[in-house]
Structure 1
Amino acid sequence: MSENAVRPAVRTVRGSAHLAVAGLGLAGAAWALRAVWHIRLAVAGEPASGLPDQGEGRHRPLTSLENSYHLVSTAGDLLTVVCAALFTGWLWRMRDNARALSGERPRYAGIWVYASWIVPIVNLWFPRGIVADIHHKSAPDQKLPIVVNVWWALWLVGMVSGVGLMYQDDTDQVIARAYQGVTGLLVADLAVVGAAVAAILMVRTLTAVQLVRIED
């Protein structure tokens, strides 16, 4: 059956909301820790032996600080993936409930709940649009909470700054950036941490709004 032919039943979202909040909290903490290591690298300064990636395929042995940053970065990446899975799980359930409550088809096809985060250009507005559509169908008489726009603005800053989920630099290149000018890295770190905090508030706010409709 096509997606539009099936109207899903309303399901509780408390559990998925709690998981999403936990995931966002862990991811935000991981990025805050990454910011601490960026500061530590900047304060330590570039070693006399030069950057880790010395060009032409040559890499020198990492210092203990650089090696620990690799561990922090890897842990942060893993927690971010876990967070993404938990957040999209909440988003999907909220979307199903919004459809059941309104009796209207979602504005965006189901594939975009996942693909909208990674498809270039589309990822600049589709994810926010999905959230806004969920809120509109859950509570058509209420304005979109301002926290949604705060979350999305901070997310975009973190993403386009070159250190968010879409960044292209490998870990050694990020280390080089910390040595050569840490300000841009810290701006991105703070934006991602801020986006995680705003997302927690958004999840709690939208979940509460939908629960009111479900429990009426």
Structure 2
Amino acid sequence: MILLLLVAVADIASIMATLNMRRLVAGVLDDGFVAFPEADAEFADALMAATSFASIVFVLATIVVFIIWFHRVRCNAGVFATDWFTNGTGMAVGSWFIPIGNLWIPRRVAVETWTASRADHLAPSRHEPTTLVNAWWTAWLITICLGRVASRLYDRAETADEIVSAADLLVAAGVTNIVAAVLAILFVRRLTHMQHTKALALSQTPRTV
């Protein structure tokens, strides 16, 4: 959760750097020629590079820790409901690295893990619904799509208008990534609590010989 929070903070910094570049390009045009000092342009570029690098570092660290946690909660859920899952525990890790399939398989693992971790996994879906899982996954997919498109457009941008348009998409991608990070924090916190509660309840259940 701490790493996810750092990702959100890094995204805020990236958004501020992108807005600074957008302001510089959009606000000081003179007959089609850029009229701002070269030092300002170099600083804006350096700021965007630094914040982008920080974001990448935090994202990579978060991915590693998140997948470890994801595998652990899947293993826990397998104890709660042994015959509930479509695939084995290894898919909690491997599904993230399957081309195309990583767009939906991890979500299926998350939904099955969430359901198995409810107080009664056979109860109707209105009990601990998967709304939070779906919201997090939707925000994550939007972030991936927007981020890739925005990055490509910015790298290829040559005119001021193209830079401004790409910057707008970068800001949008940053906002959706912040939303995804916040939803991921809530998802991690809630699922961990559900499993802790269920484990305590099971440990207090009298066993018959």
TM bucket normalised to smaller: 0.7 to 0.9
- Greater alpha carbon shift after TM alignment, 112-121 vs 92-101: 112-121
What is the CA-CA distance between 1:184 and the residue it aligns to?
Answer: 1.6
Q: Which residue of 2 aligns with 1:210?
A: 195
**Which of 27, 30, 39 lines up with 2:19 in the alignment?**
39
From 188, 194, 200, the counterpart of 2:173: 188
Show the counterpart of 1:23: 3
User: Is 2:139 the counterpart of 1:154?
Assistant: yes
Which structure has more helix as a fraction of its residues? 2
Structure 2 spans left out of the alignment, 5+ residues: 35-40, 202-209
Shift in alpha-carbon separation, 1:87–1:80, aligned structure 2, 3 A: same
Q: CA deviation at 1:115?
A: 3.6
Unpaired runs of 5+ in structure 1?
A: 1-20, 50-61
Q: Distance in 2 between matches of 1:64 and 1:80?
A: 24
Given residue 201 of structure 1, which amino acid in structure 2 is its aligned partner?
L
Distance verdict in 2 for CA 1:31–1:117, change over 3 Å: farther
Provide the residue aligned with 1:179 in structure 2: 163
Equivalences for residues 5-20 of structure 1 within 5 A: none
Assess if the C-alpha contact under 8 Å between 1:38 and 1:178 holds in 2.
no
Q: Map 1:1-216; keep pairs closer than 5 Å.
A: 21-45=1-25, 63-104=42-83, 106-139=85-118, 140=121, 141=123, 142-163=127-148, 169=152, 173=155, 179-181=163-165, 182-216=167-201
Q: Which has the larger radius of gyration?
A: 2
Q: CA RMSD in A?
A: 2.8
Runs of 4+ in 1 over 4 A off after TM superposition: 46-49, 174-178
CA–CA distance in 2 between the matches of 1:212 and 1:183? Answer: 44
Residue 96 of structure 2 aligns with an amino acid whose one-letter code is W
Q: Which amino acid aligns with 1:179?
A: I
Q: Deviations over 1:119-169 (max 9, x none)?
A: 3321221121111111122221334331111111111110111349xx874
1:28 maps to amino acid? A
Report deviation, 1:31: 1.4
User: Which fold has the larger relative contact order, with Cα–Cα distance below 8 Å and residues 6 or more apart in sequence?
Assistant: 1
Residue in 1 that maps onto 2:206: none
Aligned CA distance change for structure 1 residues 192 and 105 (closer, same or farther; 3 Å): same
Question: How far is the alpha carbon of 1:175 from its aligned partner?
Answer: 7.7
Against the structure 1 CA distance between its residues 149 and 38, is the aligned structure 2 distance closer, same or farther, given a 3 Å change threshold? same
- Give how far 1:178 is off: 7.6
Which residue identity lines up with residue 9 of structure 2 in the other structure?
A: A
**1-side partners of 2:4 and 2:187: how far apart?**
11
* Count of paired positions: 182
Contact 2:84 2:116 in 1 (8 A): no
Percent sequence identity is 23
TM-score by length of 1: 0.74
When residues 128 and 44 of structure 1 are mapped into structure 2, their CA distance, relative to the original with a 3 A threshold, is same
User: C-alpha distance in 2, partners of 1:42/1:129?
Assistant: 39
Please say which of residues 120-129 and 205-214 is displaced more in the overlay.
120-129
Distance 1:174 1:133, change over 3 A: farther
Per-residue deviation, residues 2-48 of structure 1 (Å, max 9, x unmatched): xxxxxxxxxxxxxxxxxxx1111111111121111111110011796
